[in-house]
Amino acid sequence: MSLQGIDAVIFGVADMAEARRFLDDWGVSPVSGSAEKLLYRTRDGAEVIVRPKGAADLPPPIEDGNTVREVIWGAADQAALDETVDRLRGLASFRIGADGLPRVTDPNGLSLAFRISKRKPVVVTPTPVNAPGAHQRINQRSPVHNKATPINIGHVVLFAADFAAMRAFYTETLGFAISDEYPGHGVFTRCRTVGEHHNLFILNRPGRAGINHVAFTVSDIHEVIGGGIAMSKKGWKTEIGPGRHPISSAYFWYFENPLAAPLEYYADEDFCTEDWKPGTFERKPELFAEWAIAGGIDGTTRRQRPMEDKSGRGHA
């Protein structure tokens, strides 16, 4: 498969100033900002683009309110981009945009664009772990993160108005590999055979297209927790998290936000090759989360607040 992953996500929002405040706290890097367009980048160069929802040149929304207006998928090089275009050229929605990028509309009505990727690989060294007899972190303290710095836009999750059509479009027309599946209800797909567990999860919601969430990868569980606590301290509301998904194995924390459906920090997802064995699962709540905290952790428990020591003994 010729695509590398998500190169950019374009949001259409009601309140540009609130979107800017959120993204500054979220930890992506500001590149430029005006009343008409905000541009931020993740560590690897994936772009978060925010526009006023009424901007005339935005593709039409697939749902009311703040939402994703376009996903731009990145190809490794021109040959890979050409291969993708060959897959799409016969579709009725195929077009070349004013910016020269090939585009189609998926069966949900979401605009997709394709370009040679602007992302540069980031090599992360997650915190090594220690266990008796298996010490990987020697003479080195484990970090505490005061904020997250997202590495990439790892996946989007779409509510499919016509699940069968969306599944066929992404897995057959575009050629995404299936990593795991809730038959008839949801399918986890990845755009590279050798790659992270999912770049796109499609959920069946008959007749009502929408965005379920957009997810940003961070380096490890410590950055999920530290980043989430930092967002909480700044007043952003948890949608759910922290927690862990048994399917994909990732640690997660989702936040409500002024850009779209929830945005997610996540880390430590499964990495698949052609030898990955896709599973089929019955839809059950405990497969969304092995464990999760409903409303976040805020960093203000009695052992996290500076407190008056009345005992005279000090605190351990």
Q: Which residue ranges make up the site for Fe ion (CB under 5 A)?
A: 215, 264
Shortest reach from residue 245's CB to Fe ion, in Å: 7
Closest CA to 59 of 97, 114, 115: 97
CB nearer to Fe ion: pick between 155 and 222: 155
CB nearer to Fe ion: pick between 166 and 215: 215
CB nearer to Fe ion: pick between 151 and 215: 215
Shortest reach from residue 316's CB to Fe ion, in Å: 38
Burial class (CB in 10 A: 0-12, 13-18, 19+), 247: buried
Question: What is the rounded CA–CA span in Å between residue 53 and residue 62?
Answer: 12
Strand, coil or helix: 316: coil
CB nearer to Fe ion: pick between 149 and 249: 249
CB nearer to Fe ion: pick between 47 and 264: 264
Shortest reach from residue 127's CB to Fe ion, in Å: 22
Question: What is the rounded CA–CA span in Å between residue 307 and residue 316?
Answer: 13
Shortest reach from residue 231's CB to Fe ion, in Å: 16
Shortest reach from residue 184's CB to Fe ion, in Å: 20
Helix, strand, coil percentages in the chain from 3-state DSSP, rounded to 5: 15, 35, 50
Closest CA to 153 of 3, 315, 265: 265
